[in-house]
Amino acid sequence: MRLLLVLMLGVTACKGGDADDTGLDDTGAPAPTWPDIRVEPTEVDFGPLRVLDTPEDTRVVTVYNDGTAPLHLQGIYLEDPAVPFEVGAVGSVLVPPGASTTFTVTFAPDAAWRHSGNILIASDDPFEAVVELPLFGLARAPALAVTPPEHDFGAPYLGCTLDQPLTLANTGNDLLVIESLETTEAEGFTFDDRADDNGPLPWNLAPGDELEVSVGFAPLTEYSDLHTVAVTSNDPFSPTATAIQTGAGLIFGENTDVFEQPFSPAVDILFAVDLSASMGDDLANVEANLQTFISAIAATGVDYHLAAINNYDGCISGELNNVDNTLPAADQWAQLYDMIYTSGTQGERAFMMWEATLTANNVGSGGCNEGFYRQDAALALVAITDEREQSVNTYSYYVSLFQSMKSDPNDVTIHAVGGDYPQGCNRNDPATGLYEATIATGGQYLSLCSTSFGAPLAGLVGTGSGDLDSFELSDIPIPETIVVVVDNIQVNTGWSYAAFDNALTFEEDHIPEGGSVVEISYALLGDCEQE
């Protein structure tokens, strides 16, 4: 509070004073003299002052001596130094009879409301030693209040989210304009300006109006941290108001799952190739990509059996009913070519051809396909067609049928190469039915119009069981705390966590090699309803 205080002057008032022109009264005795103080105006009312336009106002006060002796001003000061008024220096502390002097009083408000106070003027006037001058002033200004100014979230469990609203209110009596919001970067804290409700900045608040923003806290570590929200406005007294939030995390528990990647996964791969007339202009591309496929999968080191079916009796055609990587790639292609083109039929019913091929009679002892199917290997079914799937039952029926052949349904994956889904391409229709089956089994759908689907397809089926790239966790993690270590080296990219199956999945180019040890550590999600 600004205050100018005129020091009290140690002046002794004259008791006698000078005589008048004669120096005598009616009795002939010396005439008495004394000072007589008068102050104008008798009160100072600054009225309403709009602080945004005029931050302060100054008025002049005149002190008269109506007496017959000099007036000595002994002090001019505020009765309450805390009020937002200032007293200027007086022109003279000695005022002769009939003369006057002046001083100023300034209203410099520090808050938006009606202010009042008193100036006390002390003198040697024997009849009025202290004159009280009332002061009034109304400050019109916006005033920003941010509540709560401080908030401690305490120590919730890691992974739990708490929310604290912040109220921004105009407690003043003029329009408040909130111009900007700035927050500090602090781990676990988030800020929401609720723009959907509040609209874009700047925000205008009439006197008495308010709005809310919020701060969220979801701790990821045990360490305490501090977050601030700085609100800048046209409040002339406090242009920036800051709210402080603090919090720390509490670990509910920690866990580490350890997996060992198996060597050379085994997979049985069964193609169903559509040889209908409409496929005529696609077969050259298919043959080229199948040769690429064989070269690529042979290079993976996967233990595979490879075959193709093109008829509904389920017996694989050709000299051999399957090939593997013990044969040169050229010989594998020659055998696969015979399987596709020997006694071929229109193959727009891939599900039915697979079903017939994999019957117990055909794959069992003495069956026409004996040696192809292995119970302990993954099963990859691949269809190549330019038409929708036309088997008699729904795709879900066949997915369930094939998955029932394995103790782990994840060991069955269906892939398809067809016209682009859903619009098709180059007169090739999307392979509806097969497309849905790829999604249901975690397989992939590749474009028949692509000239390079062979290598990607080998990468897909060459991983065998889905467990090789996906690891189900034994407990519920806080995703942000997951740490993956492969063979004692921390891996920060190339993997993702999916809450719906509580599993961590590696991307195709980051799947750990056979024999690798995969360690997945994480903090456990606690009870977020704790007191």
266-466, superfamily in CATH? von Willebrand factor, type A domain (3.40.50.410)
Domain coordinates in residue numbering, the chain:
37-140, 144-251, 255-261+469-523, 266-466
Instruction: Tell me how far apart the alpha carbons of residues 89 and 63 are, in angstroms, rounded to a whole number.
Output: 13
pLDDT at 13: 38
pLDDT at 344: 61
**pLDDT values of the chain reduced to their tens digit, one per residue, 531 residues:** 333 333 333 333 333 444 455 556 677 777 789 999 999 999 999 989 999 898 999 999 999 999 999 999 999 999 999 999 999 999 999 999 999 999 999 999 989 999 999 999 999 999 999 999 999 999 999 999 999 999 999 999 998 999 999 999 999 999 999 999 999 999 899 999 999 999 999 999 999 999 999 999 999 888 899 999 999 999 999 999 999 999 999 999 999 999 988 766 789 999 999 988 898 899 999 999 999 999 999 887 788 999 999 888 899 998 899 999 899 999 999 999 999 988 766 568 999 999 999 999 999 999 999 999 999 899 999 999 999 999 999 999 999 999 999 999 999 999 999 999 999 999 999 999 999 999 999 999 999 999 999 988 887 776 544 447 899 999 999 999 999 999 999 999 999 999 999 999 999 889 998 789 999 999 998 888 764
**pTM metric for this prediction:** 0.53
HSE-CB of 304 using CA atoms within 13 angstroms: 29
**Residue matched to tokens 């008791």:** 15
255 φψ region: left (φ > 0), alpha (ψ -120 to 50), beta (else): beta
Does 144-251 match 266-466 in CATH topology?
no
CATH of domain 37-140: 2.60.40.10
Q: Which two tokens mark 207?
A: 């006197």
pLDDT at 525: 85
pLDDT at 220: 86
Task: Write out the CATH class of domain 144-251.
Answer: mainly beta
Instruction: Tell me how far apart the alpha carbons of residues 511 and 311 are, in angstroms, rounded to a whole number.
Output: 36
pLDDT at 261: 85
pLDDT at 3: 39
pLDDT at 23: 58
Reduce the DSSP state of residue 284 to 3 states and report it.
helix
SS3 annotation, 331-399: HHHHHHHHHHHCCCCCCCCHHHHHHHHCCHHHHCCCCCCCCCCCCCCEEEEEEECCCCCCCCCCHHHHH
Measured CA to CA in angstroms, residue 222 lies from 189, 196, 268, 494 at distances of 14, 33, 49, 27
